[in-house]
Amino acid sequence: MIQSFAHLSPLPFETCWTSPANIAFVKYWGKKGHQLPANPSVSLTLKECVTTSKVTFLAGEKLSVELNLEGTRKDSFGIKIENYLRSLETMIPWVKNLKVKIDTSNTFPHGAGIASSASGLSAFALALTDYLYFMKPDSDPALFHRQASFLARLASGSACRSVYGGFVTWGMSHLEGSSDEYACPLEVHPELSHLLDSVVVVSDQEKKVSSREGHARLNEHFFAEARYAQAKNHFRKAIDALKAGDMEVVGSILEAEALSLHAMMMTSPDSFTLLKPNSLLLMDMVRTFREETKLPLYFTLDAGPNLHLIYPYSHRNKIETFINNELTPLSQRIITDSRGEGPQKC
């Protein structure tokens, strides 16, 4: 905990936060300790793909959570939040007397290749931080986002980066102020300050192996240490290139990271494959388009088969014509997003 919130008893409070998804350029894949990353990561916070959560906190006999997603009660998600809150009990002993109601909705469809855990859990962590600050009004306002990022990380690692807009880093690195415990915003070259992300949805089916399971499988991986060393090296190079405005280097790291992430999955002792044949076809088409046109279009992947195509706003006309004409037939749908400014209280 960044600040102490012990020795209080719950008061009623209601708040609402909208928080975005993010796409990692250097991936967090592999954990150490308690929800700490094995290597630093850097991501771009999106604009349109957001979760809005209205959260009510009340005093109760025991901890209970009711969660409604788009108006329908979702007990499986409610239990996840309840377990998460219970895990905070040593830091916030009075969570055991909280009755929490969450009404949440996403702007993007389920299974669209955009992880709702980052937007959803950062929205909840922001609401919780808002509540903690209400309960303890002398809390330092300058630490609000750091506190929210810390709490989001304990729910889902990548969620801690969604607390800030633009480019965001997380994990101990050469950068001043960096930490494994919370994320930090990163200033980049103005040339790269307006990137677009077109998500080419290859399959919207539920993935076979969860991120939690994927992180765990990496611990046993023969190449784990080599992967962490590669990610650290990519991180340094990506930061330098983002600051210098070098899209070519950023793009090459973006693709190498996506392929490494999936190579680790496919070569882990308990091997699994999330890529689909069309994912490979699309990667090939993006690379051929780039070679032929010299336009800066690059792909990345999350833990799923869907491609995130990253390109500068200044080249959107020609690139979007290519995406719409050539890639649409190989996809279920395409969602176009861009760099966002970060969460907002609604």
Residues that bind ligand PMV (CB under 6 A): 24, 27-29, 41, 115, 117, 156-158, 211, 215, 261, 302-303
Distance CA 207, CA 275 (A): 10
DSSP code for 141: G
C-beta separation of 20 from 123 below 8 A? no
Decide whether 155 or 196 has the Cβ nearer to ligand PMV.
155
**Burial environment of residue 138 by CB neighbours within 10 A (0 to 12, 13 to 18, 19 or more):** exposed
Distance CA 341, CA 298 (A): 22
Decide whether 181 or 302 has the Cβ nearer to ligand PMV.
302
Q: Which residue has the tokens 């032929």?
A: 292
96: enclosing H helix or E strand: none
Q: Which residue has the tokens 């949805």?
A: 201
CB of residue 196 vs ligand PMV: minimum separation in angstroms? Answer: 19
Decide whether 183 or 247 has the Cβ nearer to ligand PMV.
183
Q: For 144-276, where are the alpha helices, taking DSSP H only?
A: 144-155, 211-219, 224-244, 247-267
Decide whether 24 or 95 has the Cβ nearer to ligand PMV.
24
**Burial environment of residue 222 by CB neighbours within 10 A (0 to 12, 13 to 18, 19 or more):** exposed
CA 294 remoteness from chain centre:
30
Decide whether 63 or 181 has the Cβ nearer to ligand PMV.
181
Decide whether 115 or 186 has the Cβ nearer to ligand PMV.
115
CB of residue 21 vs ligand PMV: minimum separation in angstroms? Answer: 10
Q: For the chain, where are the alpha helices, taking DSSP H only?
A: 75-87, 116-135, 144-155, 211-219, 224-244, 247-267, 277-293, 316-322
Sign of the Cα pseudo-torsion (46, 158, 101, 106, in order): positive
Decide whether 36 or 91 has the Cβ nearer to ligand PMV.
36
CB of residue 214 vs ligand PMV: minimum separation in angstroms? Answer: 7
Q: What are the distances in angstroms from CA 82 to CA 59, 67, 79, 105, 216?
A: 15, 10, 5, 18, 22
CB of residue 35 vs ligand PMV: minimum separation in angstroms? Answer: 8
CB of residue 318 vs ligand PMV: minimum separation in angstroms? Answer: 29
CB of residue 153 vs ligand PMV: minimum separation in angstroms? Answer: 9
CB of residue 302 vs ligand PMV: minimum separation in angstroms? Answer: 5
CB of residue 137 vs ligand PMV: minimum separation in angstroms? Answer: 32
Decide whether 158 or 279 has the Cβ nearer to ligand PMV.
158
